[in-house]
Amino acid sequence: MSVFNALHTSIYNKLAAGTALTALLNGGTASLYHQSPPDGATLPYVVWNVQGGGDDNLTAHRTKNVLVFVRGYSSVSAAAAGTIDTQADALLHDQTLSVTGWANFWLAREQDLELAQVTTSGDKTYMAGGIYRIRLGENE
Amino acid sequence: MSVKLDTAKLDRLIADAPGEFSMIVRESAFAISGDAARRAPYDTGALSTGIHATEMGLALWRVQDSVEYGIFQELGFVHRHGGQFIQNPFMIPAVEAERPHFYRNIREFFRR
């Protein structure tokens, strides 16, 4: 399994296990999307993606150092998006992921981000989230 | 017996640090700017050609774009026609790609 597939599976499993988070979403665990929700997906939902990073290449032992952007979207308010973000943060920051084939030795939030988008109908979509640095060491 | 502490190398490091660090940060700032421009989505070219690096102070540079929609490409948005979720991050990937080179340059300075 590629490290990306293993990483995204582990993030999904971590978020899906958070009932306080999934209870806030339109479709529960079905509203957790890697990279891109389906066109016209119903809010609120959570999206995550790798925002940057890669191999450390510091030693012969392979390690990964990637940034993952996890955020919640809501059509209700910035506060509603923030509440989703709070729950996601509780599941991720300073926690440990179970990544097949890799050991997760660092997981910490580094940046807080929020954004509002106005649609053509005048409605707003609110985003609140954070960028997490995830460091992995390949299992020997 | 007397002991003499040789601080010549330390003194030189202290003296050289401001100028050397400024050059290292400058090099990384331009590397990030160029890489971000290469990674940015291209339609009219307004986003990619507007990415630039500006010196803000001693060893302090800012790399930014020049269009209001750059942040939406970086962080993602729902397209108003069709509702597709679109995201084309360009700035953070460029920063992360430069990070190892920046650290290597700092390490090399201290090894002299």
Neighbouring C-beta atoms of residue A123, cutoff 10 Å: 10
Q: Tell me phi and psi for residue A14, to 5 degrees.
A: -65, -45
Q: Does pTM top 0.95 for this prediction? A: no
CA distances from A112 to A54, A115, A123, B53 (A): 21, 11, 23, 23
CA dist., res. A130 & res. A70, Å (int):
6
Quickly state the pLDDT bin for B112 (edges 50, 70, 90): confident
Residue A38: cis peptide before it, omega within 30 degrees of 0: no
What is chain A's pLDDT, residue by residue, as a tens digit (140 residues)?
689 999 999 999 999 999 999 999 999 999 999 999 999 899 999 999 999 999 998 889 999 999 999 999 999 999 999 999 999 999 999 999 999 999 999 999 999 999 999 877 778 999 999 999 999 999 98
Q: Is the CB of B97 inside 8 Å of chain A's CB atoms? A: yes
Give the DSSP H/E element, type plus range, for residue A103: strand A102-118
- Buried b / exposed e along A80-110 (16+ C-beta atoms within 10 A): bbbbbbebbbebbeeeebebeebebeebebe
Distance from CA of A23 to the nearest CA of B (A): 23
Digit-coded pLDDT (tens) for B26-78: 999 999 999 999 999 999 999 999 999 999 999 999 999 999 999 999 999 98
Which residue in B78, B85, B93 is closest to A52 by CB distance?
Answer: B93
Do B87 and A49 make contact, defined as CB atoms within 8 angstroms? yes
> Which of chain B's residues have a Cβ under 8 Å away from the Cβ of A41?
83, 85
A119 lies within 8 A of chain B by CB = yes
Residue B35: what pLDDT? 97
pLDDT-based confidence at B97, cuts 50/70/90?
very high
Would you call B106 exposed, middle or buried from its count of C-beta atoms within 10 A (0-12, 13-18, 19+)? middle
* Beta carbons of B97 and A49 less than 8 Å apart: no
- Would you state the pLDDT for residue A1? 67
Question: What is the DSSP secondary structure assignment for residue A10, as one 8-state letter?
Answer: H
Determine contact, residues A4/A12, Cβ cutoff 8 Å.
Answer: no
Across the interface, whether the CB atoms of A47 and B84 are under 8 A apart is answered: no
* A47 at B interface, C-beta within 8 A: yes
Is the CB of residue A97 less than 8 Å from the CB of residue A11?
yes
Does the ipTM exceed 0.85? no
Which residue is it, tokens 């990637």? A66
**Segment B3-26 mean pLDDT:** 92
Q: Tell me what pLDDT residue B84 has.
A: 86
Token pair 């750059």: residue: B70
Q: Which chain A residues are within 8 Å of B100, Cβ to Cβ?
A: 56-57
- Please give the angle made by the CA atoms of B71, B74 and B77, to the nearest 5 degrees: 80
